[in-house]
Chain A
Amino acid sequence: MTATARQESKGSGPFKVVGTRTTRHDGVDKVTGRARFGADISMSGLLHGKVLRSPHAHARIRSIDTSMAEALPGVKGVATAQDFPIIRGQALDFSGAVSNARVTAEVILAHERVMYAGHAVAAVAATSPHIAEEATRLIRVDYEASRVERLGSGEDTSPGSNIASHIQLKRGDVEQGFGEAEVIVERELSTQTIHQGYIEPFASTAHWAPDGHVTIWTTTQGIFGVRASTSAILGIPESMVKVIPMEVGGGFGGKASIYLDPVAAVLSKKTGHPVKMVMTRKEVFEGTGPGCAAIMRVKMGADSSGRITAAQFWLAYQAGAFPGSSVSGGATTGTGPYNIDNFLIDGYDVVCNKQKTSGYRAPGQCQANFAIETVIDELAERLGMDPLELRLKNVVKEGDRMPTGVPFPYIDLRKLEETMKTHPHYSAPLEGPNRGRGVAVAFRGHGGQGAPATMNVNADGTISLITGAIDLSGTRTTVAMQAAEVLGLAAKDVILTVVDTDSVAQTGTTAGSRVTFEMGLAAIAAAQEVKRQMSARAAMLWEVQPEEVEFQDGVFTCNRSPAKRMTFKELAGRLARSGGPITCSVYAPSTGIGPSFAGNIVDVEIDPETGKVDILRYTAFLDAGQAVHPGFVEGQMQGATAQGIGWALSEEYLYTEEGAVANTSFLDYRTPTSMDLPMIDTVIIQVPNPHHPFGVRAVGEVPIVPTLAAVANAVYHATGVRMTRLPMSPGAILEALEAKKAQE
């Protein structure tokens, strides 16, 4: 936190609570170790489950013999895909929504075919994790190895190819646009499979009670998603499954998918005991959904004034073993910061024998942004223009259309880009050899699905706010702050609890940067309803009309008789004896979260003898709309930037010749450590969102999007080498420098 940031803790704008840096509701539990995460469950009779995974990247399963495993003392049960009713009840079908429960079942336990090395094949429940693990080694699987599709390049577009789907977006006439161009840049770029790298591995405990009720304690981004998938896979009604959320040690999109819950439930049914399953880090890397690798081709032209006349963008994203990559995320946003009259965008969803990919913070958008922003940087260089000037020349504004054709609502990307351009970092001298500065700008659009909330007034004047939205990043606090703002209370007096699936209405998954915005709308709606009911109660007690009661700064007054005055707390204390408690449940429909924009300026220094990149200075910019909790917003910006730097410089799945992941630990999957990262300075601009009463915008994902390209552009300006493949590892940079030297 910078000194200036610390000073503004009194709050900004017209708000008392929103905009302050209040203490995090779950902070003490988290720092004292009291918070309970997925693996912290224990109960009597608990068994431990372990999964057997395929060593083959692609093979037919001829047979599975579990008899030796079952005979091992301590083993209580073994499960295979045959134990999922949906496997026999439905055929695999990729025609509709690709993430249907039948496909999920196939990912969770392979049936007939293993599709990637690490694909789960069977599971064992035993009296200790060690016995369960040993038993998995006693399961005999007869595999018939098949041809491994590793490339996933999207080159082969013939029928029967491994392209699962194709998305196309177009506007104008690109040939005509390229004809008007003074300068045209063409590049092919690629990024590799990367993992979200959440600290907490997947963990789930299930108990199948004799009456058929299934209870699941799990680490997830969405309890209702777990309930829907689990009940569908197990062939039981949703009402028979109760999902209890544990604290989540990082998700970043990866924990919107499920892997263990139905397996633990089946093992519990078979054994009559609760069964707990916790993945190892190796299992997380090889058995859960990473982010997509991508190959992209960009052709962009601009006239001598810097106006972009045409853009052609070809994207092939590796979905992994089953369809459903994030290519549409890239295709619909990559060119988003620019108002381009002529474009043609083709996105391909390509399957190959790798892990089925999952979302990762702004799914699909970082890859596309890396491609587009690299080419924008090169266009600026070829035109002799300042790269931010070129961006400003083509900046989108309210009423311009997104690549999807949807018009932009009220936005001010120009303000963000001008803030970057006038920031001291942008003009600071960067002297010395092997140093360079890079910039990039990113757009992310957000949908919305609405959110329910329940609110109760407690006799001591506090509020219980009950939701089903998993808190990944401090949203208990940011949502409570919005209710507190409406009710004139302190943030700490709104106690937000995230409850299980039986205790609250259907709530969407925590994803798409939506909780502070959408659950905030629900909290505001509930607070307004509580305010209405409280005013009515005051009116009843005072024997006046409800319209005569006013509520301001936490105090009820009667405009007819100034002597009548009650604080929120005083009135709360009188509820029980004046008609009973006040409670309400609301559903706030989505107003559409809308776009967010972010930008980065970064300085790097390269060691030309080793190829190592050192980051000298980093400034992240974000239009947060009204920042509900500026400290949390800065945290999102810094965390996202750290992940983006890892993606840019050091993170990638390495595969063996046979298609297995070779680096299944954090030792060789190189997420940057704190020592590898610079202090990441943050600049929040606040262009209010017209779709939210306080002007809030989505902040969780867009800050990662510009980082890959910003770092790559800085590396270019330091070395003169365009790194078109990520990560820009020391070895890769060294090779590129050698190749450049050989050319000269």
Chain B
Amino acid sequence: MQDFEYVAPTTLEEAVRLLDGNGLKVKALAGGTDILVQLRANRFQVDRLVDIKGIPELNQLSCSEADGLTLGAAVPCYRVYEDERIARLYPALVDATSLIGSIQVQSRGTVGGNLCNAAPSGDSIPALIILGATCEIAGPKGRRTVQVERFCTGPGRNVLEPGEMLVSLKLPLPKANSGAHFLRFTPRKEMDIAVVGVGASVLLDDARQRILSARIALGAVAPTPLLAREAGDLLAGREASEAAIEEAAKAARAAARPITDIRGTARQRTHLVGVLTKRALGTAIARAKEGKKP
């Protein structure tokens, strides 16, 4: 690890100016649970780290039945899963944030950082995708919004241009009769990286028998976390039955493009996509049925 400049701006404008390094290698620092490890391992070098934790807007966490959830990019995971409103409205986000790394990592690491790190296995990303999150981005040219499933562009790469930063994530209020779940498979119960992660959300009809719409997202089986659109779409209009779930799982397996590496073989990952999709859908449907009647 080489020396680098550390700066801690307190306004968005200042941060944007510092992040646009004019040829310098600059990265934003939130919890640091990925970036500090990567720097020590000489994965890459930086000339400047811009600590964004001092910017008020990035620490915002607001959740209401009126506006849904706004999650500042510097909010650590523990604030997400310890929030009772989030636990009630977005349990799938709690599923994901409570299994990233370890308790120590969750105390520091942020959902925004997990997304910006753009690991194919990033645990929060499939959960954000199935919940329809959008990314609020600030940069030298002003603000823009990107759907979360379009944010990652490859392993460790995302859509942020030089000088741009993630400000917050916005999650729409879940509809009545909806439910969602994220789960992953790891050899260990904690301190591990997903071999496969799967998130699923469903919207049921008022009788809670038929699926009106569904989203399925896959982690660690492609260069980026993946929205398996066909797998979700084929459930629309179907009874919430085992046969339908089985078909969706099959479509999810077909959507996966896994590789073989030290954490698992492509074959094992494809198999696990099927297993986890069924389990994720099962729990998502159960949660949709448990919810308060509208």
Interface, chain A (partner B; CB < 8 A): 130, 133-134, 282, 609-610, 612, 649-650, 654, 662-663, 666-668, 670, 672-673, 675-676, 729-731, 734-735
A734 CA to B196 CA in the complex, in Å? Answer: 15
A662 CA to B195 CA in the complex, in Å? Answer: 16
Which segment, of B134-142, B155-163, B181-189, faces chain A? B181-189
Does B268 count as interface, using CB distance less than 8 angstroms?
yes
Contact partners of A670 in chain B: CB under 8 A: 187-188, 192
> In the complex, are the beta carbons of A668 and B268 less than 8 A apart?
no
A326 CA to B195 CA in the complex, in Å? Answer: 34
Query: Known contacts A609-B275, A734-B271: does B187 contact A673 (CB below 8 Å)?
Result: no
A646 CB, nearest partner CB in chain B, Å: 10
> In the complex, are the beta carbons of A612 and B191 less than 8 A apart?
no
> In the complex, are the beta carbons of B265 and A731 less than 8 A apart?
yes
> Can you give 16 contacting A-B residue pairs, CB < 8 Å?
A130-B2, A610-B185, A650-B187, A654-B262, A662-B262, A668-B193, A668-B263, A670-B192, A673-B188, A673-B191, A675-B188, A729-B187, A730-B187, A730-B195, A730-B268, A735-B268
B274 CB, nearest partner CB in chain A, Å: 9
A675 CA to B188 CA in the complex, in Å? Answer: 8
A325 CA to B259 CA in the complex, in Å? Answer: 35
A610 CA to B2 CA in the complex, in Å? Answer: 42
B277 CB, nearest partner CB in chain A, Å: 12
Name the CB-closest residue of A to B189: A675
A654 CA to B263 CA in the complex, in Å? Answer: 10
Contact partners of B190 in chain A: CB under 8 A: 673, 675
> In the complex, are the beta carbons of A731 and B188 less than 8 A apart?
no
> In the complex, are the beta carbons of B192 and A610 less than 8 A apart?
no
Contact partners of A662 in chain B: CB under 8 A: 262
Beyond contacts A134-B2, A673-B190: 6 other A-B pairs, Cβ-Cβ < 8 A, are A663-B262, A667-B192, A673-B188, A730-B187, A730-B195, A731-B268
Name the CB-closest residue of B to A614: B189
* Interface SS of chain B: loop
Does B3 count as interface, using CB distance less than 8 angstroms?
yes
A334 CB, nearest partner CB in chain B, Å: 28
> In the complex, are the beta carbons of A731 and B275 less than 8 A apart?
no
A662 CA to B3 CA in the complex, in Å? Answer: 27
A-B pairs, 10 with minimum CB distance:
A675-B189, A609-B275, A731-B268, A654-B262, A662-B262, A675-B190, A676-B189, A673-B191, A650-B187, A676-B188
A675 CA to B272 CA in the complex, in Å? Answer: 22
> In the complex, are the beta carbons of B268 and A673 less than 8 A apart?
no
Contact partners of B264 in chain A: CB under 8 A: 731
Name the CB-closest residue of A to B276: A610
Does B46 count as interface, using CB distance less than 8 angstroms?
no
A385 CA to B161 CA in the complex, in Å? Answer: 70
Does B1 count as interface, using CB distance less than 8 angstroms?
yes
Name the CB-closest residue of A to B261: A662
Interface, chain B (partner A; CB < 8 A): 1-3, 41, 102, 185, 187-193, 195, 262-265, 268, 271-272, 275
A670 CA to B264 CA in the complex, in Å? Answer: 13
Name the CB-closest residue of B to A650: B187
A654 CA to B3 CA in the complex, in Å? Answer: 32
Name the CB-closest residue of B to A674: B190
A666 CA to B263 CA in the complex, in Å? Answer: 13
Name the CB-closest residue of A to B41: A282
A673 CA to B195 CA in the complex, in Å? Answer: 17
A214 CA to B188 CA in the complex, in Å? Answer: 45
> In the complex, are the beta carbons of B268 and A666 less than 8 A apart?
no
Contact partners of A729 in chain B: CB under 8 A: 187
A730 CA to B194 CA in the complex, in Å? Answer: 13
A649 CA to B264 CA in the complex, in Å? Answer: 15
> In the complex, are the beta carbons of A130 and B187 less than 8 A apart?
no
A706 CA to B189 CA in the complex, in Å? Answer: 24
A134 CA to B1 CA in the complex, in Å? Answer: 8
B191 CB, nearest partner CB in chain A, Å: 5
Contact partners of A673 in chain B: CB under 8 A: 102, 188-191
Name the CB-closest residue of A to B268: A731
B192 CB, nearest partner CB in chain A, Å: 7
A666 CA to B3 CA in the complex, in Å? Answer: 26
A566 CB, nearest partner CB in chain B, Å: 56
Query: Known contacts A610-B272, A610-B275, A663-B262: does B3 contact A672 (CB below 8 Å)?
Result: no
B5 CB, nearest partner CB in chain A, Å: 15
A649 CA to B186 CA in the complex, in Å? Answer: 13
A130 CA to B268 CA in the complex, in Å? Answer: 40
A673 CA to B102 CA in the complex, in Å? Answer: 10
Contact partners of A676 in chain B: CB under 8 A: 188-189
**Of the candidates A130, A609, A650, A666, which one forms a contact with B1 in the assembled complex, judged by CB atoms under 8 Å apart?**
A130
> In the complex, are the beta carbons of A734 and B268 less than 8 A apart?
yes
Name the CB-closest residue of B to A649: B187
Contact partners of A675 in chain B: CB under 8 A: 188-190
B173 CB, nearest partner CB in chain A, Å: 34
> In the complex, are the beta carbons of A130 and B271 less than 8 A apart?
no
Contact partners of B191 in chain A: CB under 8 A: 666-667, 673
Contact partners of B263 in chain A: CB under 8 A: 668
Contact partners of A612 in chain B: CB under 8 A: 185, 187
A283 CB, nearest partner CB in chain B, Å: 12
Contact partners of B265 in chain A: CB under 8 A: 731
Name the CB-closest residue of A to B3: A130
Contact partners of A672 in chain B: CB under 8 A: 188
B276 CB, nearest partner CB in chain A, Å: 8
Contact partners of B268 in chain A: CB under 8 A: 730-731, 734-735
A434 CB, nearest partner CB in chain B, Å: 14
B1 CB, nearest partner CB in chain A, Å: 6
A663 CA to B190 CA in the complex, in Å? Answer: 17
A734 CA to B270 CA in the complex, in Å? Answer: 13
Contact partners of B1 in chain A: CB under 8 A: 130, 133
A662 CB, nearest partner CB in chain B, Å: 5
A650 CA to B41 CA in the complex, in Å? Answer: 24
B248 CB, nearest partner CB in chain A, Å: 16
A654 CA to B261 CA in the complex, in Å? Answer: 10
A675 CA to B192 CA in the complex, in Å? Answer: 12
A542 CA to B265 CA in the complex, in Å? Answer: 83
A668 CA to B189 CA in the complex, in Å? Answer: 13
Name the CB-closest residue of B to A280: B40
A735 CA to B41 CA in the complex, in Å? Answer: 34
Contact partners of A668 in chain B: CB under 8 A: 193, 262-263
Name the CB-closest residue of B to A609: B275
A624 CA to B283 CA in the complex, in Å? Answer: 49
Contact partners of A282 in chain B: CB under 8 A: 41
Specify which of B41, B188, B262 lies most central, judged by the most chain A CB atoms within 10 Å of its CB. B188
A181 CA to B150 CA in the complex, in Å? Answer: 68
A668 CA to B264 CA in the complex, in Å? Answer: 11
Contact partners of B187 in chain A: CB under 8 A: 612, 649-650, 670, 729-730
A51 CA to B275 CA in the complex, in Å? Answer: 46
A267 CB, nearest partner CB in chain B, Å: 21
Contact partners of B185 in chain A: CB under 8 A: 610, 612, 730
Name the CB-closest residue of B to A133: B1
Name the CB-closest residue of A to B101: A667
Contact partners of B195 in chain A: CB under 8 A: 730
Contact partners of B275 in chain A: CB under 8 A: 609-610
B157 CB, nearest partner CB in chain A, Å: 21
A735 CA to B264 CA in the complex, in Å? Answer: 12
A734 CA to B191 CA in the complex, in Å? Answer: 22
A107 CA to B188 CA in the complex, in Å? Answer: 34
B102 CB, nearest partner CB in chain A, Å: 8
> In the complex, are the beta carbons of A667 and B189 less than 8 A apart?
no
A658 CB, nearest partner CB in chain B, Å: 14
Contact partners of A650 in chain B: CB under 8 A: 187-188
B83 CB, nearest partner CB in chain A, Å: 23
Name the CB-closest residue of B to A665: B41
A188 CA to B3 CA in the complex, in Å? Answer: 53
A96 CA to B185 CA in the complex, in Å? Answer: 50
Specify which of A130, A663, A673 lies most central, judged by the most chain B CB atoms within 10 Å of its CB. A673
A728 CB, nearest partner CB in chain B, Å: 11
Name the CB-closest residue of A to B193: A667
Contact partners of A134 in chain B: CB under 8 A: 2
